[in-house]
Structure 1
Amino acid sequence: MISTIEAMAEHDDVDPEIRSFIAALNHGYGQFSDFDALPLPERRAAAETVRERWRAGGPVMAETSETIIAGCRARVHYPHAPAGAAPLPALLYIHGGGWTMFSIDTHDRLMREYAARAGIVVIGIDYSLSPEARYPVALNEVVAAFRALRRDAATLGIDPAAIAIGGDSAGANLSVAACLALRAADDVLPAAMLLNYGAFDPAETASYARFDGPAYMLTIAEMDRFWGNYVADPAARADPLVAPLQADLTGLPTAFLAIAECDILADANLTMAARLQAAGVAVEAQFYRGATHSFLEAVSVSSLADRALDDAARWLAARLGVAA
């Protein structure tokens, strides 16, 4: 079910702990002279440095392995050893960053949090970034990675029938698009979708105007650049595999949406939750007041992020049949 959501009011603002997270990130990026003007490789390296603090700490895994999945660098987190020979449920996690930035390193703590809290294996991949590799390269890699996990499930110690897919921002977009591509191929779908503040459509809505600017993490200018990097031809942005909000969502897996109130993408996420439900998909949508885009990465300092991760972990464990 979709949680009751009150209308956003003009006086609503960012949770104080999330605001401190944004301030720290902005300070970090401010150490680089004219960050936005840096060549893209340098911007990516700077972002990895700035976010290093936020991926540190957190749950310790029983085992973490590095491998290659579908041609992509991948990391597999095991929160505990399998009980006997029983395979574990799993989550294929697709990191955000506007299809342009970030990696399984920037999102490592987030993946470990899901692994520990839900009691599942979490696998992340470094899909090819744009604009060097535009649509549909990353999407094809995600689809291939899911198929590889099912094929190699026994080797990885995971249950091929209990693999969810999910991600944040661009990663949530790729997760839904991968399910659409698998459905079109009449292939097996993931068991569930975990969708954190997804970039589901390029159309600007009221939340764009309300929450634009550095005080709210993600800006309109950034999002425009990201869409331009991912898809060269603006006309192609209407493709449902690019903008899943335009797709027929019938038959997609059950979904959990974490929706940040103070996010330019808030409206698109509310609409995605409603359209999934209208298509007959079982949906749990949680609306986090005072949260901004990327707020889950603030878990080391934010009780709101901690609660949101617990909400999603409980849902994942229930959907994937994790023993209590």
Structure 2
Amino acid sequence: MAHVHEHLVPCPHGDFRVRLYDPSPAKPKPALLYLHGGGWTFFSLDTHDRVMREYAARAGIVVAGIDYALSPEAKFPVALEQAATAVRWLHRDGAAFGVDGARLTLGGDSAGGNLSVAACLKLRDEGDAGLVRGMLLNYPAFEGDCSDESQDRYGGPGYMLTRDEMRMFWTRYLRSPDDAQNPLAAPLRAQLGGLPPAFFAVPECDVLTEQSLAMIPKLRDAGVAVTDRLYPGATHSFLEAVSISPTADRALADGAAWLRDRLFGG
């Protein structure tokens, strides 16, 4: 990176950090705001530092990592509101940091993918649908449970994520069982019209893959353009293995190419 710097963004729930990765001196650049995974409960800007640097370098854009508040201390909708606040902040003030605030995308992995779609729903419903040009969604979570078939096939010993873990994460994230019916928590329940185009990186061997496969046609039926890529043999969190995995390298390249098309295209 040519420059990495952090800023505190004010929010009613408390200030939070945004870390900007800038790959070159050329300015202004479009940006991807990125939300890390970890079940809304753990991981950080540092655990996802490599992934964000890869997107910045490969796409030639600024990547802004959002250090959202973690559960169970911060329950839904705190992280969601911070994500929407970060989009508005970068749209308004991005020029001061070499960012073209009119060319923003939003994305993340796992819980971060959930927050990305939920933030776009929130922005749409509050009259700011045009602030985000696309959603980059890596093995996202869209509802609170996984099927028996998914658990049997991809949630056993040796896999990266299980149904019991996901149930624990949702319990920590939501304020009460009623929140599981809220489309801003479980976007599979949402009306999806008016959302920006989406890119899905879908690993074959993940308990959450069925949720992406349910969301993709629902988005298309709502008139949302979707690009989806299935990665055979890949499991949850596979992008983090980019230093040793050709599959992760290919998925990052695919996502970066899609970002370039959305942000530099006509």
> For the superposition of Structure 1 and Structure 2, which TM-score range results when normalised by the shorter chain?
over 0.9
Aligned residues of 2:145 and 2:167 also touching (Cα < 8 A) = no
d(CA) in 2 for partners of 1:109, 1:203 = 29
Residue 54 of structure 2 is aligned to residue 113 of structure 1: yes
Give a deviation string over 1:234-289, Cα, whole Å, max 9, x none.
12201100000110110100000001111000100111111111111110010111
Give a deviation string over 1:180-237, Cα, whole Å, max 9, x none.
0001101133110000000111132232332112411001111111000000311220
TM-score (norm 2): 0.95
Aligned residues of 1:208 and 1:265 also touching (Cα < 8 A) = no
Letter in 1 for 2:19: R
Residue 221 of structure 2 is aligned to residue 278 of structure 1: yes
Using the TM superposition, give the Cα deviation of residue 322 of structure 1 relative to its aligned residue in structure 2, in angstroms.
6.5
d(CA) in 1 for partners of 2:217, 2:89 = 31
Give a deviation string over 1:23-50, Cα, whole Å, max 9, x none.
xxxxxxxxxxxxxxxxxxxxxxxxxxxx
Aligned to 2:135: 193
Which among 122, 133, 156 is matched to residue 181 of structure 1? 122
Aligned to 1:157: 98
Letter in 1 for 2:201: A
Aligned to 2:5: 65
Alignment of 1:229-240 (within 5 A): 229-240=172-183
d(CA) in 1 for partners of 2:188, 2:145 = 10
Count of aligned pairs? 260
d(CA) in 1 for partners of 2:131, 2:210 = 27
Residue 30 of structure 2 is aligned to residue 89 of structure 1: yes
Aligned residues of 1:260 and 1:293 also touching (Cα < 8 A) = yes
Using the TM superposition, give the Cα deviation of residue 160 of structure 1 relative to its aligned residue in structure 2, in angstroms.
1.3
d(CA) in 2 for partners of 1:62, 1:295 = 27
Aligned residues of 1:249 and 1:279 also touching (Cα < 8 A) = yes
d(CA) in 1 for partners of 2:159, 2:265 = 36
Residue 128 of structure 2 is aligned to residue 203 of structure 1: no
Secondary structure in 2 matching 1:241: coil
d(CA) in 2 for partners of 1:322, 1:97 = 32
Aligned to 2:161: 218
Which among 229, 246, 249 is matched to residue 303 of structure 1? 246
Aligned to 1:103: 44
Letter in 1 for 2:141: A
Secondary structure in 1 matching 2:4: strand
Letter in 2 for 1:244: P
Secondary structure in 2 matching 1:151: helix
Of all paired residues, the percent bearing the same amino acid is 57
Aligned residues of 2:38 and 2:110 also touching (Cα < 8 A) = yes
Which among 68, 74, 81 is matched to residue 133 of structure 1? 74
Letter in 2 for 1:313: A
Q: Identify the range of structure 1 (90-99 vs 228-237) with the bigger mean alpha-carbon deviation.
A: 228-237
Aligned residues of 1:119 and 1:322 also touching (Cα < 8 A) = no
Give a deviation string over 1:290-315, Cα, whole Å, max 9, x none.
00000000000000000000000000
d(CA) in 2 for partners of 1:111, 1:322 = 21
Aligned to 2:204: 261
Secondary structure in 1 matching 2:136: strand
Secondary structure in 1 matching 2:105: strand
Can you give the 5+ residue segments of structure 1 that lack an aligned partner in the other structure? Answer: 1-60
Aligned to 1:249: 192
Aligned residues of 1:79 and 1:121 also touching (Cα < 8 A) = yes
d(CA) in 1 for partners of 2:231, 2:248 = 9
Q: Mark the structure with the bigger radius of gyration.
A: 1
Alignment of 1:9-88 (within 5 A): 61-70=1-10, 71-82=15-26, 86-88=27-29
Give a deviation string over 1:130-167, Cα, whole Å, max 9, x none.
00010011101111111000110110111111100000
Q: Identify the range of structure 1 (168-177 vs 216-225) with the bigger mean alpha-carbon deviation.
A: 216-225
Aligned to 2:89: 148
Secondary structure in 2 matching 1:281: coil
Which structure is higher in RCO with an 8 Å CA cutoff and minimum separation 6?
1
Secondary structure in 1 matching 2:131: coil
Q: CA RMSD in A?
A: 1.2
